[in-house]
Amino acid sequence: MAVKVPFKRDLEFEYGVSEELSPMVRRVIAQNPSAFTFHGTGTYIIGKGEVAVIDPGPLDGAHVGALMAALKGEMVTHILITHTHRDHSPAAEPLKQLTGAKTYGFGPHGGGKMGTGLEEGGDIDFVPDVALEDNDVILGNGWTVDVIHTPGHLSNHVCFGLREENTLFTGDHVMGWSTTVVSPPDGDMSSYMKSLEKLLHFDYETYWPTHGPAITETKPFVEALIAHRHDRMDQIRDCLKSGPMHIPEMVKKMYTDVPANLHPAAARSVFAHILHMVTTGEVGADGPANEKSLYSLK
């Protein structure tokens, strides 16, 4: 029986308008909707007076203008980046030029070794002023942010925990509206599964993803995501029980409820799952494991 993830897709908002979500958190949503960004990139502002901005978003003048309007009379002291996809980090540069704030992130895209990605593509130009590490603490005026390295969606993905409100900004690692695309080579399913399990050790009351609404039943939601990934691997096993198979054949069998135009993204996800199963020794290929390989159960 397929695992049901309790997705939430209802979200009332207005593009370019700063919405107060809690006493310490505001959000401005960029008008860059797509099959991978949902309604668009939600840029978060934390604190009052001296603030941090999380995921400034795409290189879009209207969105940067909306952010500056929302920040009028305040000082931006930190620009925090969850990861380097082009719907998250490119606006960091103009925001930095306008405010003088430093950028903080885990590192360049793909460790500086690759410039490709799925979703909105990789932002190969971004290099943080301050390179973060797991368990770092970022101190602001009236707010404290804990850095949690959560590789998987990308190797440089981090989540940011706001201590004062016990909330976690989850970027694309955990989203309420959809599962996360894990696309090799920089996306890694083994790392992603470990990063999901890592979140179960924390007791955050609310998750704020960069796309879509908040998640309030945090641990059950993460547990459902983990179960969903195991269910996908069960589907791969079922496909391969009938004999060796290529990934496009598996996608047709596994994603019958997904439009054909999204099958290439689904194929990347299946490939990520299979690479994980190759690593665990459960699945083998007819040569080096790639998207065109013929796979079978060992």
92-101 per-position pLDDT tens digit? 999 999 999 9
Buried b (16+ CB within 10 A) or exposed e, 11-26: eeeeebebeebeebbb
- Residue 8 inside a domain? The answer is no
How many other CB atoms sit within 10 Å of the CB of residue 144?
A: 12
Q: Single out the residue in 166, 201, 225 at which a domain terminates.
A: 225
Q: Helix H segments across 50-119?
A: 61-70, 92-99
DSSP state letters, 181-202: P--TTT--HHHHHHHHHHHTT-
pLDDT at residue number 117: 41
Specify whether 236 is located in the same domain as 168.
Answer: no
pLDDT surpassing 70 at residue 112: no
Which range marks the domain in which residue 185 is found? 19-225
Count of domains in the chain?
A: 2
Q: Would you call 209 helix, strand, or coil by DSSP?
A: strand
Structure confidence by residue, pLDDT tens digits, 53-77: 999 999 999 999 999 999 999 999 9
Q: Would you call 112 helix, strand, or coil by DSSP?
A: helix
Average pLDDT of the chain is: 94
How many other CB atoms sit within 10 Å of the CB of residue 200?
A: 12
Structure confidence by residue, pLDDT tens digits, 176-220: 999 998 999 999 999 999 999 999 999 999 999 999 999 999 999
pLDDT at residue number 121: 84
* 61: amino acid identity, one letter: G
User: Domain holding 270: CATH number?
Assistant: 1.10.10.10
pLDDT at residue number 1: 57
pLDDT at residue number 63: 98
pLDDT at residue number 116: 43
pLDDT at residue number 145: 98
Partners of residue 208 on adjacent β-strands? 169
Q: Please state, for a pLDDT cut of 70, what percent of the chain lies above it.
A: 96
Note the pTM of the prediction, 2 decimals: 0.94
Structure confidence by residue, pLDDT tens digits, 26-49: 999 999 999 889 999 999 999 999
DSSP state letters, 246-269: -HHHHHHHH-TTS-GGGHHHHHHH
CB within 8 Å of 170: residues ≥ 6 apart: 82, 150, 159, 207, 208, 209, 210, 215
Q: Would you call 236 helix, strand, or coil by DSSP?
A: helix
Q: CB–CB of 6/149 below 8 Å? A: no
Specify whether 51 is located in the same domain as 160.
Answer: yes
- Residue 28 inside a domain? The answer is yes
- Residue 197 inside a domain? The answer is yes
- Residue 88 inside a domain? The answer is yes
User: Domain holding 91: CATH number?
Assistant: 3.60.15.10
pLDDT surpassing 50 at residue 2: yes
Specify whether 65 is located in the same domain as 189.
Answer: yes
